[in-house]
Structure 1
Amino acid sequence: MIGKQIKGTGFRGCLNYVLGKKDADLIGGTMCGQTPEELAAEFAIARQLRPNLKVAVFHATLSVDSTQKLEVDVDNDQRWLEIAANYMKAMEFDNNQYAVVKHSDTNHDHIHIVASRIRLDGSVVDDSWDYYRSQEVIRQLERDYNLEAVTPSWETYKRSPTTGEHRYLQSKGNKSVRVQLQDLIDEVTQDNPSMPEFVERLQQQSVEVQVKTTQSELSQGISYKIDGVALSGTQLGKAYTFSGLQKHRGVSYDKGRDNALIEALMQPQHLAIAPGEAERNELESSQSELVASAPATASELESSQSELVAGAPATPATPNELESSQSELETTAPAIPATANELELSQSELAATAPAIPATANKLELQLSILPERNETQWQKVRSHLAVEYSLPLELLDLLHSHSWLYAGSEKAVFTGRTLEGEARFAFVLDERGDFTTTHPLSSEAAFWVATTGEIERAVIACNPIEALSILLIEQEQDNSTTAPATLYLGIERASQLPMEFLQELDSVIIAIAEDSHLARNASALLPDAELVNPPSSWNDIWIQLIEQEQQTQKQNNQQYKRRTQDIELD
């Protein structure tokens, strides 16, 4: 059985998605409502018990593989309801509202459970380590209902050895660097250490650890180096990235508490030690074997030795480095010497391609070529247009403008597409008809984005900047609690613009794009675990309707207040 879970802030949107699917069937739960509207109204009753709780929605999906079926000795829906009840009880939802919806739109049975984390006595279900707890509960359900066991998610987040690594293990009897690092990390995280403790333990095992923060401080990156071979956390597997260590290996991290310690540990005196005497002896033996087996002539051998001495590092290389260098040398060495003409041609090509101006100047020139020229005299006109046509708050527009994420180019609004590090790569240009064009659409891993304060836990993907900003405003309007999960809102034109490595580490990614569009399909293909939310119209239309409803309500309240005042004066 496979289980997924998402925590969110709005019941109505989740219910619209779950019940809006073709062949969706509300099969049970603890509630009376039958429609998204009725169920949302019921959930609102319990929410009044904890009005300041931001993340009140618990959305779980339980499914069996297409090769598996629930036992047919009882009705299929009844068996799913039993599983849902047992799952919710084990997850400590023992006095909570929840609805169970069965979907038949795929080739495998699955249900969605939408629940409130608020118990009817006003207490809240603790969500600490609930991903681990959910996996354990699912393993028990597999045993109870004779379903095939599935490897826990934190195990699947370890990248499997490649075919080459398997062959190397069989021929040499040694583990690859990747497997060595995975095993070491698994060993030193058994007792849930802090991040500085984790770094120090690896250093004691001669592993060099580098922790990096992007300029925007949206994410942390971590890499490991042993025996001269460096691998990023992503190359080891999802559980070995900076956020994955916290989610799947139990490593605790607090920015204020840990950053200074981590920085101190990465100073030179704390880095991994050089190879020891045993490694040097092993290296000399390997070098002797290499020379003995090389089918080279005497002159070629002398030439190779001269080149090797000239390029040799000050400290001996490890066996892994030697094998890697030998492979690279064999791959890149030409079969025959280059002729004089070929050499002259190569030099000419090099001279032709060499930059005539410094790299920084080239970078600035490139940025100017992909971003439309600013025209500050038109900013007030563009600002007014965005506020009137799209109901975007002036405060938000001014904030974006102050960061140069939005400006006036001629008489058009220009939204900059940036990497997560903040580097501008292209621009979205909004014309008078409301259509977007981009200045450099092939730019990868750059998008228009804004983020709420805090360490990002969630991402919402929209089809352009206006839609991304509208979703941000809708979510803030519907629930303005300060406990909201920090969210990254992205506007993209192509799925290739998504920052995949960052998004794959998040627990919740929502593709808020019309599901029948090429963009939604391409984004879903890249992020198969993401939740697809299909808007009934554009998100900006929904935002405008929400504003108009509030204005109408405010107008009615003002009229009622005036009537009451008049009555008082008449009395």
Structure 2
Amino acid sequence: MIAKNIKGKSFKGCVNYVMNDTAELLEADGVWADSTKDMIRSFAMQRSGRKEIKQPVGHIPISFSPEDKHRMTNDFMVQLAKEYMQEMGIKNTQYVIVRHHNTDNDHLHIVYNRIDNDLKLISVNHDYKRNIKTCKRLKDKYNLTYGKGKENVKREKLDNPDKVRYYIHDAIKAVLPTCKHPADLRFALQKFNIEIDYKFKRTTREIEGVSFRYDNIAFKGSEIDRKFSFGNLKKEFEKNIEEAKKRGREEFLREQAEQKAKKEVQKKTEIQPISVKRNLVILGVELSAEQEKILREGGIIFVENMIHPNDNTKFSAYAFTNDDKNNISFSNKNPAEFVKYGKYEMRIRDKILIEKGFVTKAKVKWYGGGFAYPYLWKEKKSDVEYMENWGDPRVKKEKKEEKKQIIIPKINKKPKL
């Protein structure tokens, strides 16, 4: 037994959807049920008493396992639907219970009015966990079959938002074993066109939550799967880091053995000592070799638990360098996203670098859906507007300075006697 709670704006669209050609009306309460139009009109009349409510439609699809098909009589399905509504606090309101016969899985739809008979709003906020507990209680009470995991769900038969939820689930599962940091997961999911939003604590700026978005449909990590809450994702990152360290140690020992064997063969060959290079440290956090490589190549990394130099509080942020790779800047938002600044829509990283006084080769959105790359900077940080040039202004400045360094000796004429 699986149920989901959906809020909607239109009773007409919802009722027309559930009352399809395979629909069987099992029960109606508080509505005229002679026709689909009568149902819609009944819901709409009561809804009109609270016109300020934007989403008055409650829609609950409930699906049952094929193993329980022989038990799914109409009376039993109505009993389960009404107990589910009671547990979820959906009472004293109009509703219809409709059974569908268009799939192998027995399932029904409940359409109810979130504006109850006393014109009070039935809240369904934060109902995700309550929904899970209610389904579990009913399955245990009536000995219904538990699902065998998301792998056995037939994706091709899903509709949105479930279709998107399973798409995101499969994408995360595919890339997670290669991710050691939150930024790794963000970049890995970009090829699936999935966006990530991290929720930060106000005091420490540490990540405390995560949500995923695809095709304008968003889910919290825990809504996709408990394994994908940020707490559990962090455990996976740490496990991947430990596995990488273990592989690194094994590789190091193998290299040592190879070097030892090479020394035995080439005893007379002078071998230069290997210098151990310490990784780059940013505000108290030592970067991994992979993070440092990305940063030095002009990429973006996400650094956690840095120490703020002003008040010694911990914070996490994206890090990136300027064009000359000699200064590191930070941003709470993804620096690769675009923002309107001046007359251009440019990357957040370009805006930050311009405001810090750096000359930056910006990436700006251009006519026709393309991009352009002007050089933008401010003569003074306090300037309101930035300067613009399609050639690198630093090159001209260097040539000008070279000319200044050329000294033409003065020829002193001999004084007249």
The TM-score range, normalised by the shorter chain, is 0.3 to 0.5
Task: Select the structure that is richer in helix.
Answer: 1
Task: Select the structure that is richer in strand.
Answer: 2
User: What is the TM-score with the length of structure 2 in the denominator?
Assistant: 0.45
User: What is the TM-score with the length of structure 1 in the denominator?
Assistant: 0.34
Larger Rg: 2
Higher relative contact order (CA 8 A, sep 6+): 1
